[in-house]
Structure 1
Amino acid sequence: MKEKSPVDPITFEVIRNQLVAICNQMGTILRKTSYSPILYDMIDFSNSLHFKNGDLISQADNCPTHIGAMHISTREAVNVIGIDNIAEGDIIISNDPYQGGTHIPDIIFTTPIYYNGSIVGFASSRGHWIDLGGAAAGISSSSRHLVEDGLVIVPTKIYSKGEPISSVINFLRANTRMPQCVDGDINAFRATLAAGVLGVKGIFDRYGEDVFYQTVQKLFDYTETRTRNAIRRIPNGQYRASDEVDCDGISPDSVHIEVSLTINDDEILIDFEGTGPVNKGSVNSPIANTYSAAYYALKFFLDPDAPQNSGYYRPIKIKLPEGIWINAAWPASTRACTTAAGEKIADVIWKALAKAIPERVNAANYGVSSEFFGGSYPKTGGYFVFGDLAPGGWGATPECDGMNVTYNRDGNCMDLAPETAELFYPVFCERREFIPDSGGAGKYRGGLGMRQTWKIVGSKDVTVSQMMTGTKTGASGINMGKPGRPGKSILNYGEKNESVLGGLTPEGDWKMSLFGNSPLNDGDSYTSESPGGGGWGNPLDRDAQSVLEDILDGIVTPDKAKNEYGVVLTEAGDEIDYKRTTALRESMK
């Protein structure tokens, strides 16, 4: 007779939600105690709990780009150190892209969870550090080698039995332009991990080891079942797509990617055969990042509400040929992997899915638009580094317009608040505004990009480094939707000496959109114009009243309303002349 499981449905749900609550609490602590704005203000981090073999048990809704990488980095940390060499109170630090990491700025902290003298699991926290050395402050977008990305940290103990290892911490201080943040951020991560450990121990205390282990296994099976059921709703078949990243930061040539999705009942095979080779620049992706991007791309259209754990990975197989840029190996630079590479991996998967379920898939998002500044304070001479994860337009959906000026799929991050930047750094934010007409036209319009200007105040030796995609053609539309407006960056926007730093020039030329260490002097300004999202459906099918509302809201100009949507305002400007609209639309078909 089969033994009855002690895990009843109510206990299962209580523990499942408690695991998520623990991860959320870890995030709250990290945000409240960290020293760096990119952590406490921009929320560029993720927190997770793992089974004793490294399998992901639970993860907070932090950065989707970390969803498929956290368990890989945790396993690598344990394998390198050796589980028999990990004591209670130890903390392991690492960021090596080729040992479970993604790009150099994302540092992973891992600690064991001990109960009754044995390891029962691990807590992990991954966060973006503003600077870890490298060829440029914050972003070395034109790196040719991994060491130009910054300090590579193989899995190493930074705490031993609860005591800090000062030699490791001193080594970190000596390899960053922002040593003043190191101690505070390390302590914040330590507190974050402690919350994870205490939370899991609390579950053990209340329910016991057997109930916990059985719940975890049921949790994996539960997510797997929900994921397989979602896959069954996609028609069987093989669906192919290809796409390009603008450049690799060294060559102006586009970087090619191909994918084939094979749906076989309740399983998916993702095959990247045909993708271009490892490139010379920074747009390369290690395995952990590629897996993560593929997982979060599919998550949108499988079962977004299913719990995040290792059960999700079981029905999804990924084939990565050797030598391609999304299966990079040392010493290739991976600096742009989480954003430029990760977003394009997601784009090409969405394009393939659109051939299987066109009624469900969105148009393309803006890509990435990030800039990092480095320089010295005018009065003290001390060095500063700050970055901005500038948002852009999301692609339109089959049911509604794309979101305006929203950070992309790879992270639930925030752009840097101007008030924070102006308080801590010698800059002034001159403008933050929507870019009219930047969303691709369609039955549903793509979201708008943003124009933002940072002006240097007092400092004379500032550099800016940029990572922007979608600057050659813009985010693609779908089902006859039009592409979004391409992005670009501008030196001294609106001034007599205005010039394009990256992207398309007024003359039609294109400048490298991934670059490092472009100089800025006192009084100079840097403006980013993030791309808009692609449109969904035929623009001529858009409701005329919606076009009018877009005009009145400054989202669409009258010229674009006429040329793309076939909508013309009357002289009064407060109504649509439907006769002229109908005639014009017919002439445009």
Structure 2
Amino acid sequence: MSETASRPRAEIDPMTLRVLGGAFGSIAKEMAQVIFRTAFFQIIREAEDLGAGLFTADGQEIAESETTAMHCGSIGSYLRGIIEIHGDDIHDGDVFLHNDPFHGASHMADVCIAIPIFWDGRLVAWAADTAHLADLGSASAGLCTDAFDTYAEGRNYQALKIEARGVPNEELMRHVFGNVRTPELNRGDIEALYTASQLGARRFRGLLEKYGADVVLGAAHAWMDHCERLLRAEIAKVPDGDYAAPVQWMDDDAKHRDHPLNVNVTVRKRGSDITVDLTGSHPEVETAVNSPLEGSTKIAAYFIIRTIFLDQATHDAFIPNNEGMFRPVHVEAPEGSLFNPRFPRATYARFCACQIAADSVLLALADALPEQVCAGTGAEVHVIAFSGIDEASRRYWVYVQVNESSWGGRFGKDGMDSIGCLMENIRNNPIEEEEMSFPVRVERYELRDEGPAPGRWRGGLGVVRATRFLGEGWVTSEAERQLDRPKGIFGGHDGRTASTTVTRADGSEVSLPSKFTTFKLEPGDRIEFRTACGGGYGPALERDPQLVARDVRDELLTAADARRDYGVVLDPATLELDAAATARERAAAGAVLG
């Protein structure tokens, strides 16, 4: 048992608890601000693909930055991995570099800097953060979707002490930066993480000096208990039962085409506990789409359950995120399966499986919580790595682009268009920077024009993004949803699948799968991505005709779409609603459906 867990908890008055709870959250947010304002790699400083926070001595989350959802809860598993490896060999002044997915990391590219916080000679807490580095020296630049095993994914920094008792290990860092394609970017990003963790440790020591260890640690545990009670109270409102989602399918494993991977999800609710059971999902594969249990699979379950039951938009009280949110949530994934792979399986592209699993939890709970879930989402991260070699310097350039997807329709509202869905929560990168920094031109970046999935509340629209290469380079893709359409619910239509097309400089076209590694592009070649569109919620004939007319005027639908899918008739000249004709059309359509 850890020092923190074994200590008696001090009684904390409500005012002090709120003050310290706010202080914990502010420290975590300040750490995140430091990272994305000082990091070098675009996916960190623009997209905010990072996480930061404070943790107890045994790795329980006190507070976190609430940035990218995949990092909401994952850092604690990194710390438990570090503790497992080092045991009692953790000292004041140590700084750890860690990214081993079989010791808690979310995947190899998400590197963690962790600093133990000592007080009166005892380890009492940790300040730690993580972010996605540009390159880890893997078999391909930027991303690695078809790696055969974990060794092909790049450098494994298994709980390395980059400082020991305050003494930096310069030789180790020379090795770390000397074996990647992007040493300058990696150095800048690791320094940003280091600075943020040092800041978090200083701020936490300031609290210890002001309030004392017993009060601060007591408040940390009381804050966790508070969050646990909030979540358990909401879970308890749902009738006990087993709620199964329809089987969903990943396109493939990035190597064996025409072999989709099944994702089976059953949500079991008992009392105030909830279990996400992934039994029956596809076995582990010989590529990188496996999802490590501790650092990714469990985090997907934690995130989606908290999102459904404690949406901050629908609760008046402030709801922090900490270890208390994880305690009522349990995950079952058989060892050797896609969601609990065995060493040495690769896990670099694990986001694909996690997104489908989270989407399936929404679908599983639709009947039980119709006003708290949405229809099927894009359920992908659609992350693309562009890379090449600069002719003058003979150095690699690497750019990682995240293309937004969409949400499904939800009770009372349409699905959100062109936005990171589910666990992604990543901002897009500015086109201007992409074109200034790399030999590419973005020729198209807009909402898909095929029309959203019909429903009482329509599905969201994904994007179409076309990029032309000005020089020679390579593309690697970690995307999804080219096979299985986002599900409509309660009579809503299914959404649209994604696609990837390369148009060569000579005008010939090549259709590509969603996941591939180092596809060669020549100068003048153009690659176009279309991301998935979310499903509809409720029967399309129940949609407010005025909303349908608005969608037509906004050019999301044609007048023919409106009549065919919604039974809505518009004046061909003005595109205003013809109420009488619409009533007749809907009555006829209803009779046919009946």
Q: Normalising TM by the smaller chain, what interval? A: over 0.9
SS in 2 for 1:47: strand
Matches within 5 A, 1:327-406: 327-337=340-350, 339-368=351-380, 369-406=382-419
Alpha-carbon displacement from aligned partner over 1:534-565 (angstroms, at most 9, x marks no partner): 11111111111111111111222333222211
Q: Alignment identity in percent? A: 28
Structure 2 match to 1:317:
330
SS in 1 for 2:374: coil
Residue 449 in structure 1 maps to residue 462 in structure 2: yes
Measured in 2, the distance between the counterparts of 1:274 and 1:71 equals 28
Q: Please point out which of 88, 91, 98 is paired with 1:94.
A: 98
Matched AA of 2:507: N
Q: Please point out which of 464, 476, 489 is paired with 1:478.
A: 489
Residue 170 in structure 1 maps to residue 171 in structure 2: no
Superposed displacement of residue 393, structure 1:
1.4
Matches within 5 A, 1:422-571: 422-457=435-470, 459-460=471-472, 462-492=473-503, 497-502=507-512, 512-571=513-572
SS in 1 for 2:101: coil
Structure 2 regions of 5+ residues with no counterpart? 1-7, 313-318
Aligned residues between the structures: 573
Q: Please point out which of 290, 296, 299 is paired with 1:292.
A: 299
Alpha-carbon spacing, 1:498–1:536, altered in 2? closer, same or farther (3 Å): farther
SS in 2 for 1:70: helix
Measured in 1, the distance between the counterparts of 2:9 and 2:20 equals 19
Measured in 2, the distance between the counterparts of 1:75 and 1:527 equals 42
Superposed displacement of residue 182, structure 1:
2.3
Structure 1 match to 2:17:
12
Q: CA RMSD in A?
A: 1.8
* Greater shift in the superposed pair: 9-18 or 280-289: 280-289
Measured in 2, the distance between the counterparts of 1:170 and 1:4 equals 44
Q: Is the 8 A contact 1:377 1:426 kept in 2?
A: no
Measured in 2, the distance between the counterparts of 1:567 and 1:89 equals 69
Matched AA of 1:481: G
Q: Please point out which of 1, 5, 22 is paired with 2:27.
A: 22
Structure 1 match to 2:140:
136
Measured in 1, the distance between the counterparts of 2:139 and 2:563 equals 48
Q: What TM-score do you get using the length of structure 2 for normalisation?
A: 0.93
Measured in 1, the distance between the counterparts of 2:84 and 2:113 equals 15
Measured in 1, the distance between the counterparts of 2:560 and 2:352 equals 33
Q: Is the 8 A contact 1:473 1:483 kept in 2?
A: no
Matched AA of 2:354: G
* Greater shift in the superposed pair: 376-385 or 126-135: 376-385
Measured in 1, the distance between the counterparts of 2:127 and 2:9 equals 30
Alpha-carbon displacement from aligned partner over 1:19-42 (angstroms, at most 9, x marks no partner): 000000001111111121111111
Measured in 2, the distance between the counterparts of 1:146 and 1:6 equals 46
Superposed displacement of residue 283, structure 1:
1.7
* Greater shift in the superposed pair: 534-543 or 269-278: 269-278
Superposed displacement of residue 438, structure 1:
4.3
Measured in 2, the distance between the counterparts of 1:49 and 1:12 equals 16
* Greater shift in the superposed pair: 186-195 or 569-578: 569-578
Alpha-carbon spacing, 1:21–1:256, altered in 2? closer, same or farther (3 Å): same
Q: Is the 8 A contact 1:490 1:498 kept in 2?
A: no
Measured in 2, the distance between the counterparts of 1:484 and 1:308 equals 32
* Greater shift in the superposed pair: 349-358 or 389-398: 349-358
Structure 1 regions of 5+ residues with no counterpart? 503-511
Matches within 5 A, 1:15-414: 15-82=20-87, 84-241=88-245, 242-252=247-257, 253-288=259-294, 289-305=296-312, 306-337=319-350, 339-368=351-380, 369-414=382-427
Matched AA of 2:490: N
Matched AA of 2:341: A
Measured in 2, the distance between the counterparts of 1:477 and 1:545 equals 22
Q: What TM-score do you get using the length of structure 1 for normalisation?
A: 0.94
* Greater shift in the superposed pair: 385-394 or 169-178: 169-178
Superposed displacement of residue 269, structure 1:
2.3
Matched AA of 1:205: E
Structure 1 match to 2:4:
none
Alpha-carbon displacement from aligned partner over 1:55-96 (angstroms, at most 9, x marks no partner): 1111111121122321111111122122x3222232111111
SS in 2 for 1:43: coil
Superposed displacement of residue 108, structure 1:
1.2
Superposed displacement of residue 208, structure 1:
0.9
Measured in 2, the distance between the counterparts of 1:5 and 1:160 equals 33
Structure 1 match to 2:5:
none
Q: Is the 8 A contact 2:293 2:340 kept in 1?
A: yes
Q: Is the 8 A contact 2:70 2:300 kept in 1?
A: yes
Matched AA of 1:539: A
Structure 2 match to 1:419:
432
SS in 2 for 1:372: strand
Q: Is the 8 A contact 2:388 2:396 kept in 1?
A: yes
Q: Is the 8 A contact 2:9 2:214 kept in 1?
A: no
Alpha-carbon spacing, 1:567–1:498, altered in 2? closer, same or farther (3 Å): farther
Measured in 1, the distance between the counterparts of 2:137 and 2:106 equals 16
Measured in 1, the distance between the counterparts of 2:201 and 2:451 equals 47
Superposed displacement of residue 571, structure 1:
2.1
Alpha-carbon spacing, 1:376–1:438, altered in 2? closer, same or farther (3 Å): farther
Superposed displacement of residue 439, structure 1:
2.5
Superposed displacement of residue 378, structure 1:
4.5
Matched AA of 2:361: I
Q: Is the 8 A contact 1:131 1:138 kept in 2?
A: yes
Measured in 2, the distance between the counterparts of 1:577 and 1:260 equals 45
Alpha-carbon spacing, 1:182–1:139, altered in 2? closer, same or farther (3 Å): closer
Measured in 2, the distance between the counterparts of 1:4 and 1:203 equals 17
